[in-house]
Structure 1
Amino acid sequence: MILQIVFILIIAIIIGFIINFAFIDGVLQAPFADAFIAFCENVLQLDYFAAQNAYNVLFQQNKPLWLTIGFILLLLIIFYIALSRFTRYFHQISNSIIMLADESEKEIHLPTELDFLEKKLNDVKYKLEKRARDAQEAEQRKNDLVVYLAHDIKTPLTSIIGYLSLLDEARDMPVEQKEKYVTITLEKSYRLEQLINEFFEITRFNLQSIVLEKDLIPLNYMLMQVADEFYPLLAPKGQKAIVNIDGEMTIYADRNKLARVFNNILKNAIAYSEPNSTIEISAQNENNQTFISFKNTGKTIPPEKLKMIFEKFYRLDSARSTQTGGAGLGLAISNEIVQAHGGTITATSHHNQTVFIVMIPANS
């Protein structure tokens, strides 16, 4: 655009000099002078000498003035042309922004001079479209999950009502049978409580803001404590969780929130590990970063699913039952907590082995 304006200025200067030499000092001097004198004689009723004197005063003695006037007129024309182009550009940019606001499906096109802006606007458009699709998919997953949870709540609730009705009707029921019914009712109550908690977790997710309270944490002790706490979930399937860390290791982070990250990852590993398998937990420091990995043996996660496991309300188990999946928020929340620490959480899955790696910067 600037080159075009410079080019027009150069052309204007050339035209100005051509006009100056052609009409005043050049080959057209005599015809122009004769025409002017004839105009003065015929129209203004001046004699020849007065007309010639008028020509000399107006043109011969004021060449710089006429040249300046000519240049000013040319500059005004150039300014008008440039302003018209700018106005057209602004109008096109305004229409493009309206397309963004209206979420138009059409691609944005601008003049060649605005290629850089066209690319940026289209990039923004694609990002907004992707964000809208992701939000819509997450909302759909949430709605589906709520329907599933509502359906699953009926099962333990029906069992609780049924067994309590039996206990109420048969007051003289044998003790052993009564204990059996009470045990089943209690298990169903715990399950019902879990499902209700998942409802609260879904509604609470978007209202939470992550505020970190960081201090130095003995990482070895924390990971061993996490592994020990999951023994009741590991034992029934013959699984084990072992912690392999060489030497003492500390990390500067929010103790409670980081423990929640480890709990979510380990819970996920237990749910999708093979029976009688071992979940390996390890950590190491490298380049002022701490890497904590969780490796489990189980069914390989397909790449398309692996990309989505950190999204809200996404569960690897797409079956309707929520017995093994939860609300699909554990890994999404873990991802947000790790990002709040300035770190990353990634997952890989090959040859029936899945590895989650949490990276926390040393100066987080």
Structure 2
Amino acid sequence: MKKFRKTNSDYTKLNRITFFRGLGIMLGAVSAVLLLRAMTRGHLADTIVLWITRIFSLNEDQADMIYFKAVTANMQFILGIVIIIFVFLLFYMLLYSYKRYFDEVLSGIDKLMEDGDAISLSPELETVERKLNYAKQTLKTQADEARKTERQKNELVVYLAHDIKTPLTSVIGYLSLLDENPDMPDDKKIKYIHTAWEKANRLRILVNEFFEITRNHSEPISLQKVKIDLYYMLVQISEELYPQLSACKKRIENNVGEDISVYGDSEKLARVFNNILKNAIAYSEDESVISVFAEEFPEKTVIRFENRGEIPGDKLGLIFDKFYRLSSARQSETGGSGLGLAIARDIVTLHGGRIKAESSNGLTSFVIELPSIREELTMAP
């Protein structure tokens, strides 16, 4: 399981502003205390007593007594009240400031799903602003990807619906001819039956692809790993693909050593190799050879599928996307649902490996890297 590392956030500006605001109030409190202390003695006290004598027309002794009873005798109480006031101001300032910051953050959160400009907060909330904008960009990217996938899926459903209608119409048409003409010559009857069988088989493939779409979205992939003889697995898959290969005069050249093995789910990996070889059959040059190589390294086993034919550079990065098909696929009887390579990537990734495609100089290669069987057996429980 992937462990998420806790990252430290930089709140230097916020800390600095909060510190100086608190320091200002504390200095104000100290100044007020010192001022009150100065009122009990020295020139300031004499000046206040003088004001009292003039305002109330009292003599100096009377004014001094009033000042003593009102100020000097109650100085501790006055100091306490002043300190409480400044503490209250300190907490109020902090609460007001952070309430304003929380309001800004909540406003920024409300804008996460909105299109438009980047989220802007106070300079001291720069770290929060940066993370909110990152989250907004991530959500936008995910939403765009979801819309893209949904659009591709909808397009695929339309394509498959059209492709299903075509062979179904042909099957019904040929069977109707056979039903309406029981005395049809045997050679023509055999031809119509064979054509109807081909169209029905194509229809079966397309219906299976519909089920493939549903299963790919609803079922999690689990692995049952065993030791797999890679050479003989590829021999078996090549034999199963013989009808497709024979139809376009292509062949698979197995250059994998008989001593090379991999550790994984045999059914799932066979599906990966089958999907890649079907893709190579569909898009390679006519009457060409599809070559398969494998090489073992201390930490991984590399399997390479090569065929003549080139994938355009602008499409090379899209072929592993779900529901993606090269444009020529719709016009081909071998055109699939666009899930084959996406499923292959998911299975390889689940095995702890990776898959990539390379295409240049008229040659296309699919390269699969799987953890070596020694590495897998060492890590296995």
Instruction: Please report the TM-score for the alignment, with normalisation by the length of structure 2.
Output: 0.83
Contact kept? 2:229, 2:258, Cα under 8 Å: no
Which stretch shifts more, 224-233 or 54-63? 54-63
CA distance in 1 between counterparts of 2:298 and 2:89 reads: 63
In structure 2, the partner of 1:113 is 124
Match of 1:11 among 17, 24, 44: 24
Instruction: Say whether residues 1:348 and 2:339 are aligned partners.
Output: no
Secondary structure of 2:338's aligned partner? coil
In structure 1, the partner of 2:48 is 35
CA distance in 1 between counterparts of 2:165 and 2:295 reads: 46
AA partner of residue 222 (structure 1): M
AA partner of residue 335 (structure 1): R
Which stretch shifts more, 141-150 or 29-38? 29-38
Identity, in percent, stands at 41
Instruction: Say whether residues 1:180 and 2:191 are aligned partners.
Output: yes
Contact kept? 2:356, 2:368, Cα under 8 Å: yes
1:167 is displaced (CA, Å) by 1.6
1:59 is displaced (CA, Å) by 5.6
In structure 2, the partner of 1:211 is 222
Q: 1:183 to 1:283 in 2, by over 3 A?
A: same
Match of 1:76 among 85, 88, 98: 88
In structure 2, the partner of 1:249 is 260
In structure 1, the partner of 2:4 is none
Q: What whole-Å deviation, never above 9, does each CA across 1:120-159 have from its counterpart, x for those lacking one?
A: 2222212221221222122222222222222222322222
1:91 is displaced (CA, Å) by 0.9
Secondary structure of 1:326's aligned partner? coil
Q: 1:96 to 1:286 in 2, by over 3 A?
A: farther
1:286 is displaced (CA, Å) by 3.5
1:68 is displaced (CA, Å) by 5.8
In structure 2, the partner of 1:223 is 234
Contact kept? 2:108, 2:119, Cα under 8 Å: yes
CA distance in 2 between counterparts of 1:33 and 1:340 reads: 88
In structure 1, the partner of 2:102 is 90
Contact kept? 2:348, 2:354, Cα under 8 Å: yes
In structure 1, the partner of 2:286 is 275
Contact kept? 1:13, 1:71, Cα under 8 Å: no
Q: 1:347 to 1:55 in 2, by over 3 A?
A: farther
Q: 1:153 to 1:16 in 2, by over 3 A?
A: closer
1:330 is displaced (CA, Å) by 0.8
Q: 1:21 to 1:228 in 2, by over 3 A?
A: same
Q: 1:33 to 1:357 in 2, by over 3 A?
A: farther
CA distance in 2 between counterparts of 1:265 and 1:207 reads: 23
Secondary structure of 1:165's aligned partner? helix
Structure 2: tracts of 5 or more residues without a match: 1-13
AA partner of residue 200 (structure 1): F
CA distance in 2 between counterparts of 1:334 and 1:318 reads: 21
Secondary structure of 1:206's aligned partner? helix
1:231 is displaced (CA, Å) by 2.6
CA distance in 1 between counterparts of 2:74 and 2:308 reads: 96
CA distance in 1 between counterparts of 2:170 and 2:32 reads: 102
Give the CA RMSD over aligned residues. Answer: 3.0
1:39 is displaced (CA, Å) by 4.4
Please list, as runs of the form range in 1=range in 2, the aligned pairs for 1:1-364 lying within 5 A after superposition: 1-22=14-35, 24-25=37-38, 29-31=42-44, 33-35=46-48, 38-39=51-52, 48-49=60-61, 51-53=63-65, 55-56=67-68, 69-100=81-112, 102-246=113-257, 248-286=259-297, 288-302=299-313, 304-317=314-327, 320-321=330-331, 323-361=333-371, 362-363=375-376
1:87 is displaced (CA, Å) by 0.7
Secondary structure of 2:218's aligned partner? coil
Contact kept? 1:301, 1:354, Cα under 8 Å: no
Which stretch shifts more, 322-331 or 5-14? 5-14
CA distance in 1 between counterparts of 2:275 and 2:93 reads: 64
